[in-house]
Structure 1
């Protein structure tokens, strides 16, 4: 640990220069928040995607995920996290005003759903790309079931500026290049994988679920019951992040490597090209019938379930792996966040500030390449925390040696505190240190975590997830309704909606091949080769 502390301190000192501080103020963040539309009765709203919200295929900030009922709100990357939250609030306000009395579900685990066949799969129009998105989702339903796909999360997109990377490479004695930036992002990702058990401990908010979610599922978890039909694990933090109801042994066996971009891409592509023995029973174009896009382990890259992804924005019909090969890593997508039930918009300023600290720390710590055994260790730690993270004395494995969660987290808080001070200086504030202090209190007292607070509310009132979710949904509809628009007006959103519908029509009109040919051409296109730069 002494060597790690010395290494970390040296890097922290390097960031204290005026140039580095200026570059750190240019961190960009975006949020993708998922939420189910529900009826005031608490049941799933099975109405089509409202026309007033625009086209789910082409709208830049309001779309659907797996289901017509599962909305996804997207903010563009900005350097001011406060503005990101305000823009997310604007999206919520416009949506509430245009869903005809429906509400937005404030929890990650789904509301009461009597039959998973009631969950309507998202529809994206009649273009080839729209049909492809729908068939992919049909494949997810057939492979894993619709109930699992109705779970909502929050994705946090994060990137350092080009100015930062140029200074970073110079300080490390490295040549600045696209490949070097990708390598540094992968170093950050490896440490994220080592440490991401802390995210569900602090921010997991799904220790309980509606009994309808378990219908027909086999499991060996020692659930206890609260209310009329809510099931919980006493020390769980994030059932959303568990493998409950989601099993793909072939995907789990992939052991996707985060040591080098080339290898990461190679293994992803291999999974998209390797037939799955489990999925051969579903049609993939035979006789014009589509129950999935392919018979392979992964239909497309997005099917890989991972707590973090390296990302590069894609061009029209470009595969994500090809975008990474051609242009390198542009940003990272943190995928381990539950919807925060104590925020009307699903995420708070304090969470975003701490994620900045956490990710900067992941870059600053030593990050040797991971062996298969170390990757398994990190996965096992994460799985332990999502199911029993608040258990007193819970032990994790750090480099093969047992250590309590509290001790490891306390060690990390020393690093987080130093990183927070740097970010405070860079942004002329004290928010970052404050966010670390809040997490310090949660490490000391698990009841202060989001999952601890949520479970206490259920147990204290012997109430159901569904009842609490409804109360919060009603409260948030009122709270957001009272807030003014900050950046985009209602008319501005209406114009975006109209423009997206027109854009969808243009996509549909531009199709020049039948769907079978379109799908065949998409998968037969040779993978992109690495380009200089």
Structure 2
């Protein structure tokens, strides 16, 4: 029987659990498996004009097909690029690949720039946001209609926000080794899924710390909220902000969407998660029924369900599994279990050329391993409510002096709770460095302790300080930083990467053309089959 102890669990018990797991793995000779992490990075970024307006041009042909390219595609808008690295054995290798994607893309942008912040440029109205196009194939039309649905359901403006998704997993060899130590008799697939959900539960408990340490969106253009009520303050006539905010992107203004608050997706275990998500994508919603699906010969959405597809659910962390052709993500999870987790609460840091650096990635790995090996109890409804409240306080007031957050022992100072979490991550970091050699993980943890002691060192504080000292608006300052990053990164493109990415672009265009030339049923029939599945 699962007993939810949640925030009532003592810190000494949590530490004992982590230390016990680390010691057992080390004693059994398996500590090296913790260092063999697998990571990939997905990073979004708006294409903008030389005057910081959202680009109205089509996806650059030199970047290939957004439908079929493995590494360079688009997200919601035709102007919202998305870079996808392959899975790599080290954070440094993933970031090197991301560097090459940036550098190659810069060579194809002409006088456009790649926006280096999460919150968008100045956008006069929603009509100026072009919805992404993917060609005439049924799959391409499906992707476009899904985005039309997002427009009608939530509005276009929210879809221009950009972020970084960090995909993380441990090697296949880790799971049978840990399962044997745990004395678990379930299938390996079930054990691995349960382990990743243990990670997810602890990530939700402690994820507020990542928002404090790495949040980088304390300000935004006034155009983003034009005509909408808000409580932000005015920095200048074109810039709104909150003085102690860390990540407005992850607040109710951004991807924390109130329309989905009633979904109650359960993150405790694979079966409850899959069931609740499956229910959401197969239950019609009255407000979406009123929108209609096919109106005046135009598709407004894929269906009238609470979620058109699984990806419509916005969350800061997701269990994931690579899908097979034509397979839905939730079905892949149900059939073959969790393969990796996707961390989705990472802002683009406009002070960094890639928006993220190796130190941050090394810390993320140590943090995620700590979550995996930490307490195993479920999240109950009360704890979920406290987790949500901590999230809200940190994104809006994270650097506020004297800020209190919910804990197992009542409300306690942010600094105390942050250091308690960092104490746990430091134990993991120590073991990782002992196995690998060097001190990269320990240095990454100490850098975060500095931010806890001195909030002015956080990216959100640095962004506000830079804005104030520059005398520029949010859009003007981000444009200037975008130009600097392009100047710094473009020379890093290697001849090998240039040739490889040019070839990938050509091949993706040919692949899309071949797909569109294949005989296929009418889109209405294709969509009906897809929805029914």
User: TM-score higher than 0.5 here?
Assistant: yes
Deviations 1:110-139 (A, max 9, x none): 001111211111001100110010000011
1:490 — aligned with what? 498
Q: Give the drift of 1:166.
A: 1.3
1:9 to 19, 26, 32: 19
Kindly indicate whether residue 317 of structure 2 is the aligned counterpart of residue 308 of structure 1: yes
User: Secondary structure of the equivalent of 2:286?
Assistant: coil
Kindly indicate whether residue 414 of structure 2 is the aligned counterpart of residue 379 of structure 1: no
Is the CA contact 1:25–1:79 (under 8 Å) kept in the aligned structure 2? no
Is the CA contact 1:24–1:426 (under 8 Å) kept in the aligned structure 2? no
Distance 2:313 2:141 in 1: 21
Is the CA contact 1:225–1:232 (under 8 Å) kept in the aligned structure 2? yes
Tell me which moved more, 494-503 or 286-295.
286-295
Q: Which runs of 5+ in 1 are unaligned?
A: 526-533
Kindly indicate whether residue 456 of structure 2 is the aligned counterpart of residue 447 of structure 1: yes
2:159 — aligned with what? 149
Distance 2:350 2:254 in 1: 22
1:162 to 149, 164, 172: 172
1:392 to 379, 392, 401: 401
1:366 — aligned with what? 375
CA 1:239–1:247: 2 relative to 1, 3 Å? closer
2:469 to 460, 466, 472: 460
Where does 1:117-266 land on structure 2 (aligned, <5 Å)?
A: 117-175=127-185, 177-219=188-230, 221=231, 223-244=232-253, 249-266=258-275
CA RMSD of aligned residues (A): 1.5
Kindly indicate whether residue 304 of structure 2 is the aligned counterpart of residue 280 of structure 1: no
2:326 — aligned with what? 317
Distance 1:342 1:67 in 2: 24
Is the CA contact 1:38–1:45 (under 8 Å) kept in the aligned structure 2? yes
User: Secondary structure of the equivalent of 1:333?
Assistant: strand
2:480 to 471, 479, 494: 471
Deviations 1:18-71 (A, max 9, x none): 732321232100000000011111111111001110000110000000011000
2:342 to 310, 330, 333: 333
Is the CA contact 1:374–1:399 (under 8 Å) kept in the aligned structure 2? no
User: Secondary structure of the equivalent of 1:362?
Assistant: helix
User: Secondary structure of the equivalent of 2:287?
Assistant: coil
Distance 1:308 1:343 in 2: 23
Q: Give the drift of 1:405.
A: 1.4
CA 1:434–1:247: 2 relative to 1, 3 Å? closer
Distance 1:491 1:410 in 2: 47
Q: Give the drift of 1:5.
A: 2.2
User: Secondary structure of the equivalent of 1:273?
Assistant: coil
Q: Give the drift of 1:425.
A: 2.2
Q: Give the drift of 1:246.
A: 6.2
Deviations 1:454-508 (A, max 9, x none): 011112334311121111111111101222428x421211110011111112222
Kindly indicate whether residue 56 of structure 2 is the aligned counterpart of residue 25 of structure 1: no
Distance 2:497 2:374 in 1: 43
Q: Which runs of 5+ in 2 are unaligned?
A: 1-10
Deviations 1:280-316 (A, max 9, x none): 2322136753111111111100000000000000111
Kindly indicate whether residue 508 of structure 2 is the aligned counterpart of residue 508 of structure 1: no
Distance 2:466 2:239 in 1: 13
User: Secondary structure of the equivalent of 2:158?
Assistant: helix
Q: How many residues align?
A: 522
Deviations 1:435-465 (A, max 9, x none): 0000000011111111011011112334311
CA 1:402–1:262: 2 relative to 1, 3 Å? same
1:531 — aligned with what? none
Distance 1:18 1:91 in 2: 40
TM-score by length of 2: 0.95
2:356 to 347, 353, 370: 347
Distance 2:322 2:273 in 1: 17
Tell me which moved more, 51-60 or 462-471.
462-471
Q: Give the drift of 1:426.
A: 2.9
Distance 1:47 1:426 in 2: 50
Is the CA contact 1:65–1:122 (under 8 Å) kept in the aligned structure 2? yes
1:517 — aligned with what? 525
User: Secondary structure of the equivalent of 1:209?
Assistant: strand
Is the CA contact 2:65–2:509 (under 8 Å) kept in the aligned structure 1? yes
